[in-house]
Amino acid sequence: MAEIFEYKCPCCGGAISFDAGAQKMKCPYCDSEFDPQAFINQDERLKGQAPDEFNWGGSAGQEWDEGETANMNVFVCKSCAGEIVCDENTAATECPYCGNPVVLSGRLSGMLKPDYVIPFRHDKNSAKETLKKYVNSKKFAPGAFKSENKLEEIKGIYVPFWLFDSDTDAAVNYVATTVHTWSDSEYNYTETSFFDVFREGSMSFANIPVDGSTQMPDDLMESIEPFDFGGAVDFQTAYLAGYLADKYDVTMEDSIDRANNRVKSSAEDVLRSTIDFPYATVTPKSSSIQVNNGKAKYALYPVWLLNTDYRGTKYSFAMNGQTGKFTGNLPVSGAKLAALFGGLTVGIGAIVYVVGTLLGLL
């Protein structure tokens, strides 16, 4: 049975959460600050407590169909007794009634407990400001989109990642070319020489992250990389207070292929960088990659996320909660782009015509 953790301020009793700016637990009511380590014992104590239960009678509503509630859970807020409905993967959230941050500790225990967590270093205001600048800097985004996006809905989420370490042996064959040109009175000549280039070597990778949540788009998560694992700490639930958090629903085994693909591509790139001769082209022809001593870790990484709809299409924006790197696809105004295309075509065409005429080329 999952449990709800709420961290109370020892001074005033208010609900406290992890403050990214101060890197401490902070009470929003009396501004008291506490080291997250101080709450470890509290976590242990709370584990022994049974969750509250509230059973309501009456004939309102109707029975759930079989299996309909399989992925849903109901928790009760310890501050206001409000019911929190969430799916089976939610590990931390906030009460929709009183706004208190809660951690559903049962979701993170045992086999599912993360090894590490990178605490948020950028707070919500920073995320909102970055998003605002990002959208406003895009002159060809539709005006309606800029006004419609809801900055307040940006959420801080701890996203589950599998981190892969490996020692990699790689052997890669490349086909490289050099090109030499010359001419005589009748012909232009092009001589292309082909080379078989071989490189074999070893290298090590550490903490290659692979998104462990199906709810997070993999391309979005990889677009806000890199994460600096140097900022990771041993996992403590206290860091989750005030943020949403998911547990993984993609297993480590299912994530390995993604890591392997990235290792293979990097190994080819890295060995290619050892080719000193200035070939005209270098193309991988075949490669053999062996991953040894592969290890995986489970960690939660901080991400600010905003999902918004524009004319029926969902747009997601994400900011790396550790580095502040921001990304997200934006719609492009067809009218603005068409106007630019037409204007440029006429303008450049006129310039080429005038210059060509003045130089006697046209």
β-pairing verdict for 33-34 and 90-94: unpaired
Indicate which single residue of 194, 214, 233, 292 sits in contact with other proteins (rule: CB under 8 A): 194
Indicate which single residue of 18, 116, 205, 248 sits in contact with other proteins (rule: CB under 8 A): 205
CB of 90: closest distance to other proteins in angstroms? 24
Tell whether residue 148 is a contact of other proteins (CB under 8 A).
no
CB nearer other proteins, residue 6 or residue 165: 165
β-pairing verdict for 90-94 and 155-183: unpaired
CB nearer other proteins, residue 88 or residue 219: 219
Indicate which single residue of 57, 61, 230, 360 sits in contact with other proteins (rule: CB under 8 A): 360
| From 19-27, 97-105, 117-125, 193-201, span contacting other proteins (CB under 8 A) | 193-201
Tell whether residue 40 is a contact of other proteins (CB under 8 A).
no
Tell whether residue 283 is a contact of other proteins (CB under 8 A).
no
CB nearer other proteins, residue 76 or residue 203: 203
- As a whole number of angstroms, the distance between CA 306 and CA 152 comes to 9
Indicate which single residue of 10, 13, 21, 226 sits in contact with other proteins (rule: CB under 8 A): 226
- As a whole number of angstroms, the distance between CA 174 and CA 282 comes to 6
| From 46-54, 82-90, 110-118, 213-221, span contacting other proteins (CB under 8 A) | 213-221
Tell whether residue 204 is a contact of other proteins (CB under 8 A).
yes
Q: Nearest CA to 93 among 204, 202, 2?
A: 2
**Nearest-5° Cα angle at 101, 100 to 103:** 135
Tell whether residue 195 is a contact of other proteins (CB under 8 A).
yes
- In the region spanning residues 114 to 143, those forming contacts with other proteins, defined by CB under 8 A, are 138, 140-141
Indicate which single residue of 71, 136, 202, 286 sits in contact with other proteins (rule: CB under 8 A): 202
Helix/strand/coil (H, E, C) string of 159-184?
EEEEEEEEEEEEEEEEEEEEEEEEEC
- As a whole number of angstroms, the distance between CA 358 and CA 139 comes to 35
- In the region spanning residues 227 to 266, those forming contacts with other proteins, defined by CB under 8 A, are 259, 262-263, 265-266
CB nearer other proteins, residue 281 or residue 329: 329
Hey, is 308 helix, strand or coil?
A: strand
Q: Which residues contact 260 (CB under 8 A, 6 or more apart)?
A: 289, 291
Token pair for 63: 């029975």
Tell whether residue 277 is a contact of other proteins (CB under 8 A).
yes
Indicate which single residue of 6, 43, 218, 254 sits in contact with other proteins (rule: CB under 8 A): 218
- As a whole number of angstroms, the distance between CA 203 and CA 199 comes to 13
CB of 195: closest distance to other proteins in angstroms? 5
CB nearer other proteins, residue 35 or residue 200: 200
Indicate which single residue of 274, 278, 293, 313 sits in contact with other proteins (rule: CB under 8 A): 274
| From 46-54, 65-73, 102-110, 270-278, span contacting other proteins (CB under 8 A) | 270-278
Q: Is 315:336 a contact under the CB 8 Å cutoff?
A: no
**Nearest-5° Cα angle at 177, 173 to 180:** 165
CB nearer other proteins, residue 21 or residue 226: 226
- As a whole number of angstroms, the distance between CA 64 and CA 35 comes to 44
- In the region spanning residues 163 to 182, those forming contacts with other proteins, defined by CB under 8 A, are 171, 176
Q: Nearest CA to 7 among 94, 73, 121?
A: 94
Tell whether residue 352 is a contact of other proteins (CB under 8 A).
yes
Residues in the chain: 362
Q: Which residues contact 69 (CB under 8 A, 6 or more apart)?
A: none
Q: Which residues contact 216 (CB under 8 A, 6 or more apart)?
A: 157, 159, 246, 303, 305
